[in-house]
Amino acid sequence: MKKLENKVAVITGGGSGMGKVSCEMFAAEGATVCVVDIDAKSAELTAEAIIAAGGKAKAYPADITDETAMEALFADAAAKYGKIDVLFNVAGISPMGTATTTSLAEFRKVIALDMESVFIGCKYVIPYMERQGGGVILNNVGTYGLRPTPNKMGYAAAKAGALSLTKSVAIDFARSNIRCNAICPGFVDTPLNNGFTGEARQRFLDTYQPLTLEIQAKDIAATAVFLASDDARAITGQDIVVDGGTEAYLYFNYKKKTTEN
């Protein structure tokens, strides 16, 4: 039997990268997938590919920061499929910046997309999970939510907030049989990191990541499938790190400024 047979999963950011691969892998494991993406065409293409491969999916174009839109999305999915077993919050952004180089508008944008959207998703999916006797929520947090790195202030703050939300949901709704965990990817070879190329990319992989492999979106998707399945029934409130060993030791990815005498 497939790991997610007869499950209904809502996955945000399903039009590309980790979200797209997660949608495809969840469907391959038997889930009916609600593909959520702000880009309607991308969401449709993912859903069409799943259906062409023999799976079940429906595209949901939506802005994950729009409370009204997300409330309506969950209502439609629950009405159409009768339940929502899994919510996987994947969508987000990863801007650069410090406290002085980040504008207030930019800070608010990353907080809205990377943290507030997690709150919105949890707020509106949990009542359906409570009524049906349980469910699973997964939040894509990233290792910078555990340990900030230079020039990623807004992103790290948003992800740290999302991790705290994850643990609060796990605590508050454990007796409702709702599990909530965070997945913390390290550097993953996805479109979001297309700008990180050349010598800087290779130096990171050579110096800061113990494993020499390049982590792929499928590695994150496979982790999500496991956590969404009954195989992980005793796991909740955890941050599951998938980073090739980087977080296992202290590192400071920053070149010290030199002063000339």
Note the pLDDT of residue 172. Answer: 98
What is the pTM (predicted TM-score) of this model? 0.92
Sign (positive/negative) of CA torsion 120, 169, 18, 49? negative
As for how many domains the chain has, the answer is 1
Q: Is 155 a residue of the active site?
A: yes
Report the CATH number at residue 74.
3.40.50.720
In this model, does residue 17 exceed pLDDT 90? yes
Answer whether residue 215 is part of any domain. yes
In this model, does residue 167 exceed pLDDT 90? yes
Average pLDDT of the chain is 92
Answer whether residue 131 is part of any domain. yes
Q: What is the mean pLDDT of residues 196-205?
A: 69
Answer whether residue 112 is part of any domain. yes
Answer whether residue 183 is part of any domain. yes
Answer whether residue 91 is part of any domain. yes
Answer whether residue 134 is part of any domain. yes
Domain range for 129 is 8-240
Over residues 233-261, the pLDDT tens digits come to: 999 999 999 998 888 876 555 555 555 44
Q: How far apart are the first and last CA of the chain?
A: 70
Q: Which of 60, 124, 128, 155 is catalytic?
A: 155
Over residues 88-109, the pLDDT tens digits come to: 999 999 999 999 999 999 999 9
Split at pLDDT 50, 70, 90, the class of 27 is: very high
Question: What burial class does residue 51 get, using C-beta atoms within 10 Å of its C-beta: 0-12 exposed, 13-18 middle, 19+ buried?
Answer: middle
